[in-house]
Amino acid sequence: MSFFSTALLVVRKDLLVESRSREVVYTALLFAMSCMLVFAFGLVKEGQVVTDAAAAILWITIAFAGTLALGRVFDRERQNETLRALLLAPASRASIYVGKFLGVFALLVMVELVVVPLVALMFGARLFRHPWLMIGLLAAGSIGYAAVGTLFAAMLARSRSRGALLPVLLYPITVPVIIGGVRGTAALLGPEADLAVARAWLMMLVSFDAVFVTLSLWTFEPAMTD
Amino acid sequence: MTLKTIVRAVSLAFLLVVAAPAWAATQPPASQEGFVPVDQLPTDEEFPATPLVAAAYGIAWAAVLVYVWSVWRRLQRVDRELAEVARRLEVQRRSTGSPEAPR
Amino acid sequence: MQRTFPLLVLMCIALFGYAPFLIAGAPYESTMGLVQKIFYFHVPSAIAMFLSAFVCGIASAIFLFQRKPGADRVAVSAAELTVLLGLIVLVTGPLWARKAWGVWWQWDARLTSSLVMWLVFQAYLLLRRFGGPGSDKLSAAVALFGAALVPFVYWSVNMWRTLHPTTNVVPSLPPPMMGPFLWCMVAFLALYGVLLAVRVALEERRARLDTLYLALED
C-alpha cells in the first residue's frame, strides 16, 4: 500500500469512528465554549474586551480544546488496544503518523469552525475582515499544533501519568505556534489591520510548521518502536 | 542511499528553504550599540547596583554548588547500593557455587 | 579521560579563582555602570546553556536512531545541565535588567524564547522522572525539539526589536572587556565539561547497578 493511501485509510477510520459517537467533537466544543466564558470574565472591562484579548482568547481556546481532543483520541486507541494493532500493521510508521495527524487536524478544524465565529460575535472581533489571511493563520497554527500534539499524544499513550504529562510537554513546545497565531490575529484585529505584520507572522508560522512536521516525522518511528 | 536517507535529506532541504524566507521577511531591528567603556563609575545612581551584582554572582555560585552537592549525594547513594548488591552477589555466588560473577 | 578529569577540575578552580580579579579590574560601562559586570557570568552561562542544549539534542538523536545507551546517559546529563545553566541565566538576567531597563522582566522575543526553551528541558526531566518505562525514547524526541529552539533563541534579538542587546555586543567588545569575558567563557566551558563528566559517571554507575540487580535476580 502506498504512503498516502495508508494515511488516508487511517484518517477515514478515525473520522468514521468519531462520526459514530461524536464524543470528542462534542466534548471539545463544550470545553472550548466554557474556556471562552472563563476568559471573557477575566478580560472584559465595562462590557468591552481588552484590545488584543480576543486574539489570545481564540488561540488559547483552540489550544486547550486541542489538548482535550488529543488526549481522548489516543486514549480511545489505547483502551481498545487498537494502537498496538496499528503499529503491527505492515505500513510505514510515517504514514500512520500522517494519518493520525490529519485526523487531529480535522478535529481542530471542526472546533475552529465553531469557535472563530463565536469569538467574532461575542467579543466584537473583526476576524473576517481579511478572511484569507485569517484562514492562513488558523491553518498554519493548527498544522503546527496538530503535528507536535499527535507526536506527543501517541508517544505518551502507553506511559504512566500521560494525562498530566501531555500538557507539560505540549505547551512549551507549541508556545511559538500559539504566539505566532495570537500576534498575527491581533495584527488583523486592530482598528487599522496591519497586513504586513500579519503576513510576517504567517511566514513565521509556516517556518515553525516546517520544522515541527519534519522533526515529528523523523522521530515518530524510533520513538514508537519498542 | 536508502529511501529513508533521501526522504530525510529532502525534508531537511525543505525545512531550510521554507524557513529562510520567513527569516528574511521579518522586520530589521533598530540599531543597538555595543558596550562603551569608561574609567570612572557614573555618579547618578538612583538605587545602588551592588546588591544586584552581589545577588547575581552569589546565586550563580550557589546554584552550581547546590547542583554539585546533589550529584555528590546521588553518587554516594548509588555507590552504597553498588557495594551492597556486589556483596549479595558474592554471597549468592559462594552459596550456590555458580560460575563467575558478572562483569 | 581518567587523567584529564583532575586536570580539568584544577583548571576550573584556577579559572574561577582568578575571574573575580579580572572582573573587578574591567572598566565600567558608560550607561550601565557597576551592574553591567553581571555580563561576565550572564553571557558565558547562556552560551554554555546553548551548548548543553545542542549536546542533549545530538545525544538524543544518536540514542533515537542508533539506540546507543551511552548516548542516552549523555542526553540526561546534558538536559539537567541545561536546566541548571538556564536557571543561572534567567536569574542573573533580571537582576541586571532591574537596574539597566527599570523592569525585572519584559516579554520580548529573546526573554520569552529562552524561557520557553528552559521549560522544554524541564519537561524533559519531568518526563524522565514520571513517564515510566519507555520515557527514555520519548524524552529524546522532546530534546530534539528543545535543541531546535536554540538557533531561534539566539537570533531572536537580531530579528526583532528587543530590549535585550543584540548579538553584536560580544564581537564588538572593547579589549579591556574582551579579556575578562573570554576568561569567564573558558571558565564556564571548563565547568561544563567537569559537571557533564561527573553527571555521566553517575548515570554509568546507575546503569551498572541495574545490571547487577538483574544478575542478582537470576
More confident residue, B71 or A73: B71
> Is the per-residue pLDDT at B98 higher than 80?
no
A residues 134-153 closer than 8 Å to C (CB): 148, 151-152
Query: Higher pLDDT residue, A190 or C142?
Result: C142
Write down which chains contact chain B via at least 3 CB pairs under 8 A: A, C
pLDDT of res. B63: 95
Which residue, A13, A63, A15, A19, is CA-closest to A39? Answer: A63
| Nearest CA distance, A102 vs chain B (angstrom) | 19
Residue B19's pLDDT band (boundaries 50, 70, 90)? low
State the number of CA atoms in the 13 A half-sphere of B17 facing the CB.
6
* Cβ-Cβ contacts under 8 Å, A155 against chain C: 137-138, 141
Lowest-confidence pick of A170-184, B22-36, B55-69, C79-93: B22-36
Query: Is the pLDDT assigned to residue A1 strictly greater than 80?
Result: no
Interface membership of A197 toward C (CB under 8 Å): no
Q: Looking at A35-49, B37-51, C142-156, which range is the least confident one? A: B37-51
CA atoms of A179 and A185, how far apart (whole Å): 10
Give me the pLDDT at residue B20, please: 55
**Closest residue by Cα to residue A148 from A210, A79, A87, A192:** A210
Residues 6 or more apart from C110 whose CB is under 8 A from it?
Answer: C153, C156, C157, C162, C164
* Cβ pair A101, A147 in contact under 8 A: yes
Residue A119 contacts residue A34 (beta carbons within 8 Å): no
Do the Cβ atoms of B25 and A199 come closer than 8 Å?
Answer: yes
Around A17, how many Cα atoms within 13 Å sit in the side-chain half-sphere? Answer: 17
Q: In whole angstroms, give the CA distance from residue B67 to residue A144.
A: 36
Is the Cβ–Cβ distance between A62 and A53 less than 8 Å?
no
Beta bridge partners of residue A45, listed in sequence order: A48
- Residue, of B35 and C125, whose pLDDT is higher: C125
Q: What b-and-e string marks burial along C55-75, b requiring 16 or more CB atoms within 10 Å of the CB?
A: bbbbbbbbbbeeeeeebbbbb
* Gyration radius (Cα) of chain A, Å: 18
Lowest-pLDDT choice from A71-85, A198-212, C109-123? A71-85
Q: Is the pTM of this model over 0.90?
A: no
- What distance in Å separates residue B6's CA from the closest CA in chain C? 16
Tell me which chain A residues have a C-beta less than 8 angstroms from the C-beta of C137.
155, 222-223, 225
Q: Which of B30, B44, C144 is nearest to A173 (CA)?
A: C144
User: Cβ C31–B42 below 8 Å, yes or no?
Assistant: yes
Mean pLDDT for C80-92 is 96
pLDDT band, residue B29 (cuts 50/70/90)? very low
Task: Give the model's confidence band at C217: pLDDT under 50 very low, under 70 low, under 90 confident, else very high.
Answer: confident
Query: What mean pLDDT comes out for the span A106-132?
Result: 88
Tell whether the model's pLDDT for residue B7 goes beyond 70: no
* CA–CA min distance C134, chain B (Å): 22
Question: Using 50, 70 and 90 to split pLDDT, how confident is the model at A194?
Answer: confident
Mean local confidence (pLDDT), A127-137: 89
pLDDT tens, residue by residue, A152-164: 998 888 777 788 8
Percent of chain A at pLDDT > 70 equals: 99
Q: How far is A159 from chain C (nearest CA, A)?
A: 6
Cβ distance of C198 and B49 shorter than 8 Å: no
Radius of gyration of chain C (CA): 19
Distance of alpha carbon A165 from alpha carbon A175, whole angstroms: 16
- CA distance linking residue C212 with residue B85, whole number of Å: 7
What is the pLDDT of chain A when averaged over all its residues? 87
Contact A208/A144 with Cβ under 8 angstroms?
yes
What pLDDT was estimated at residue B5?
A: 63
Question: What is the C-alpha radius of gyration for chain B, rounded to an integer number of angstroms?
Answer: 30
C157 versus B23: which is more confidently predicted?
C157
Beta carbons of C134 and A158 less than 8 Å apart = yes
C29 sits in which H/E element: strand C28-29
Residue B31 pLDDT greater than 50, yes or no: no
Which residues, 6 or more positions from A175, have their beta carbon under 8 angstroms from its beta carbon?
Answer: C112, C116
Phi-psi region of A192 (alpha: psi -120 to 50; beta: other; left: phi over 0): beta
Q: ipTM, 2 decimals?
A: 0.90
Which of A197-201, B38-42, C15-19 has maximum average pLDDT? A197-201
Domain ranges of chain C: 37-161+174-217
Quick one: angle between helices A162-189 and A53-79, nearest 10? 150
| Residues A57 and A123 sit within 8 Å (Cβ to Cβ) | yes
For residue A61, CA distances in Å to A33, A44, A173, C18 come to 8, 16, 17, 53
With an 8 Å Cβ cutoff, are A210 and B8 in contact? no
What angle do the packed helices C135-159 and C69-100 form, to 10 degrees? 30
CB contact under 8 A, B12 and A214: yes
Q: Mutation target for A interface from C127, C128, C156, C159: give the one with most A CBs within 10 A.
A: C127
Mean pLDDT of chain C: 90
| Residue carrying C-alpha cell 548515570 | C203
% of chain A surpassing 90 pLDDT: 38
* pLDDT above 50 (res B27): no
Predicted pLDDT at B11: 66
Residue A124 pLDDT level (bands cut at 50, 70, 90): confident
What's the grid cell of residue C202? Answer: 553517575
pLDDT above 90 (res A123): no
Decide if C84 contacts C19 (C-beta within 8 A).
no
The pLDDT of C22-33, averaged and rounded, is: 83
> Is the predicted pLDDT of residue B10 greater than 70, yes or no?
no
Query: Residues near A188 by Cβ (< 8 Å), separated by ≥ 6?
Result: A126, A127, A129, A130, A133, A134, A137, A194, A195, A198
A window 177-216, beta carbon within 8 A of B: 199-200, 203-204, 206-207, 210-211, 214
Q: Which helix (H) or strand (E) holds A221?
A: helix A195-224
Q: What is the pLDDT of residues C114-136, one digit of tens each?
A: 999 999 999 999 999 888 888 88
Cα–Cα distance for residue pair A79/C86, rounded to 1 Å: 39
**Three state DSSP letters for A78-103:** HHCCHHHHHHHCCCCHHHHHHHHHHH
